[in-house]
Amino acid sequence: MIKTEKMKGTSHKPLRTLQSMLLGHPLATADAPNQTIGKLIGLAVFSSDALSSVAYGPQEVFVVLSLTGLINLHYALPIAFGIAVLLVILTFSYEQTIHAYPGGGGAYIVARDNLGELPAQTAGAALLTDYVLTVSVSISSGVAQLVSAFPVLFTYRVWIAVGMILFIMMINLRGVKESGAAFAVPTYFFLVMMTVTILIGLARALFGGLGAVVNPPPVDITLIQPLTLFIILRAFANGTSSLTGVEAISNGITAFKEPRSKNAGITLLWMAGILGSMLLAISFLATHIHAIPAESETVISQLARTIYDGRGILYLATIASTTIILMMAANTAFADFPRLGALHAGDGFLPRQFTFRGSRLVYSNGIIALAVIASLLVVIFQASVTNLIPLYAIGVFLSFTLSQAGMARRWWKCGHLAPGVEVKEPGSTLRFEKGWVTKMVINGFGSFCTLVVMVVFAATKFKDGAWIVILLTPILVTIFFSIHRHYKHLAKQLSLDHKYEITRARRNRVIIAIGGVHRGTLAALQFARTVSDDITAVHVSIDPNETAKIERKWDYWGDGYRLVILNSPYRLMLEPLLEYIDKIDAHSQPGDLITIVVPQFVAKHWWTEWLHMRNAEMLRKALLHKENVVITEVPYQVS
């Protein structure tokens, strides 16, 4: 009775021409890329988010310090040291995660395995929020770089940013073939340009010859505040936005060549080393040249312009590489957001649609959702990094905290296992390990540090926008749990495990809703005849002349079936029909079905589709909650 058939997952012929043009033909045998990557490529693939943040992190430290006057900008350097120390702590902590979760240790998974549903959903909500902000911030910063090089674009910055987001969305809807080279070229281009710029800059700074920036942008701030600890902490909080992206490698361990934990771990060390050096060097050089934080020109641009003595080819290459790496960072979020969304949806905490892969093997719904929300943020905050930054990074630090706390708890559990016992969890395997106390302390200390930073964040940037995220996170978590409850309730309602009596269908009355008598109507009648012999055609009459014509035609073509004319003095279409169905339904017995057949002509070209009303869809909406009523649209193709 049961027949199993093996099919290739190849896809159907192009569904729509426009879609194909924009998104490419559906992928034929598009399996996820199974080839693994080495450390050099891995660095390129996973570090664009982290490394690109040097384009705005130091600058946003300057922005806060400049509130107290330009003379205090040199505090940026000690703040950068503080951030570098935090980076070291985080790196140690995440090294342990990478080795404990060789299958991928994202905050959601680590928190779910070790802390439970609520912390896991919280970490997920925080991360989803922050992926959106990664897109908005990275793209806004990318546009700011462009605008620095071509000031004439300043007026259009919001639209350029939205255009970039839509462009990246399109690419992701097409399905990114995650070939290492596509990532390696821009990442290493950026690394080379930054290294050259920094080395020349440092050489000129040490051996003389690097002066202040020429024609600095006008200072945006007029009201000078006193330099307080609060300001220092706020500047520090802004700077730590550079640490977002550090977790990327721990999410993607499976992409690495074996021994993958080791390779991923070494790559993390490289990334942290490069990021830390760049942060310190850029902070030092920017202070040295007296760069001015401003919306009209980025600190990176002022730096490159000063080091290269003007807007020459090297300057342009530096700006181009920075813009591109920032776009790559946004692109990373386009990969991570839908994947995390699918993970939530698979566990029943987000709509199931997010688990659905389109014909090009991508999570289309998640990609579109991300693009829409990020674009909205860009428009609302006018593509200003300074406006967006107070919202940013809180989510990441919350997920850092939860993830490391989860790790600490994991070591505690490991430490209390008898030697030789193995406990399998969804994400990793627990066994007794020597030195679990040290490991627990490292992760615990990391968790504590990021918690402190998060509190500093929340306090110092609260009124500038952080309150939005602080408010949003619990709301999201509540929504996630409501969705979960809904799905569980539904499954129970649909279940056959309890006593269930089938109502056998006794008879099926068919109503054909006709607007005229034409070929489409006759196709619908032919379908109706296969369903039942109890067929009634119903026409809602608005124009008596038209109705007379329909009656005449039905007499000839209607195969002798009944035609009911419903007069509609107020020219309404749907309501008289609904009322008629109500009346018929009132006489229903158990097991009686009513099938409403709606003829629908289908034009050849998709662009003519919107010229036709979807009567079936309107009926469906109106009758969805009526039991035993089925609506069937019978298409009739017109060449």
Tell the residue number behind the tokens 């490289």, with chain if given.
270
In Å, what is the CA distance from 215 to each residue of 305, 309, 310, 447?
Answer: 10, 12, 11, 44
- Of the pair 185, 475, the CB lying nearest a second copy is at 475
Least Cβ distance, residue 442 to a second copy (angstroms): 37
- Of the pair 417, 531, the CB lying nearest a second copy is at 531
Least Cβ distance, residue 568 to a second copy (angstroms): 5
Least Cβ distance, residue 585 to a second copy (angstroms): 12
Q: Can you tell me the distance from the alpha carbon of 517 to that of 513, in angstroms, rounded to the nearest whole number?
A: 11
Least Cβ distance, residue 2 to a second copy (angstroms): 5
Q: Can you tell me the distance from the alpha carbon of 209 to that of 196, in angstroms, rounded to the nearest whole number?
A: 17
Q: Which long-range contacts (CB under 8 A, 24 or more apart) does 617-626 make?
A: 618/574, 619/513, 619/574, 619/577, 619/578, 622/574, 622/578, 623/578, 623/581, 623/596, 626/581, 626/585
The DSSP call for residue 293 is -
**Do the beta carbons of residue 362 and residue 349 sit within 8 Å?**
no
- Of the pair 50, 367, the CB lying nearest a second copy is at 367
- Of the pair 357, 413, the CB lying nearest a second copy is at 357
The DSSP call for residue 504 is -
Three-state DSSP class for residue 317: helix
Helical (H) or strand (E) element with 636:
strand 629-637
Task: Give the phi and the psi of residue 534 in degrees, each rounded to 5.
Answer: -90, 85
Least Cβ distance, residue 630 to a second copy (angstroms): 5
Q: Can you tell me the distance from the alpha carbon of 245 to that of 95, in angstroms, rounded to the nearest whole number?
A: 14
Task: Give the phi and the psi of residue 144 in degrees, each rounded to 5.
Answer: -60, -35
In Å, what is the CA distance from 388 to each residue of 39, 130, 300, 408?
Answer: 33, 11, 18, 32
Least Cβ distance, residue 601 to a second copy (angstroms): 6
Among candidates 385, 379, 370, 514, which has minimal Cα distance to 54? 385
Among candidates 597, 530, 539, 599, which has minimal Cα distance to 563? 539
Least Cβ distance, residue 163 to a second copy (angstroms): 15
- Of the pair 54, 634, the CB lying nearest a second copy is at 634
Among candidates 224, 275, 283, 241, which has minimal Cα distance to 76? 283
In Å, what is the CA distance from 47 to each residue of 241, 267, 394?
Answer: 14, 9, 20
- Of the pair 434, 625, the CB lying nearest a second copy is at 625
Concatenating the DSSP letter of every residue in 324-369 gives HHHHHHHHHHHHHHHHHHHHHHHTTSS-GGGG---TTSS-HHHHHH
Least Cβ distance, residue 9 to a second copy (angstroms): 4
Which residues lie across from 536 on neighbouring strands? 511, 562
- Of the pair 438, 608, the CB lying nearest a second copy is at 608
- Of the pair 472, 573, the CB lying nearest a second copy is at 573
Tell the residue number behind the tokens 């209390």, with chain if given.
416
- Of the pair 290, 620, the CB lying nearest a second copy is at 620
Q: Can you tell me the distance from the alpha carbon of 431 to that of 351, in angstroms, rounded to the nearest whole number?
A: 36
Least Cβ distance, residue 381 to a second copy (angstroms): 14
**Do the beta carbons of residue 615 and residue 513 sit within 8 Å?**
yes
Least Cβ distance, residue 498 to a second copy (angstroms): 10
Least Cβ distance, residue 33 to a second copy (angstroms): 12
- Of the pair 220, 575, the CB lying nearest a second copy is at 575
Q: How open is the CA angle 513-519-525, to the nearest 5 degrees?
A: 45
Q: What is the 3-state secondary structure (H, E, C) of 218-252?
A: CCCCCCCCCCCHHHHHHHHHHHHHHHCCCCHHHHC
- Of the pair 233, 362, the CB lying nearest a second copy is at 362
Least Cβ distance, residue 31 to a second copy (angstroms): 6
- Of the pair 215, 639, the CB lying nearest a second copy is at 639
Least Cβ distance, residue 151 to a second copy (angstroms): 21
- Of the pair 82, 358, the CB lying nearest a second copy is at 358
Least Cβ distance, residue 192 to a second copy (angstroms): 38
Among candidates 122, 373, 381, 390, which has minimal Cα distance to 238? 390
Tell the residue number behind the tokens 């659905």, with chain if given.
356
CB atoms within 10 A of CB 54: 25
- Of the pair 366, 395, the CB lying nearest a second copy is at 366
Q: For the chain, first and last CA: distance in Å?
A: 41
- Of the pair 434, 587, the CB lying nearest a second copy is at 587
Least Cβ distance, residue 141 to a second copy (angstroms): 25
Helical (H) or strand (E) element with 45:
helix 39-46
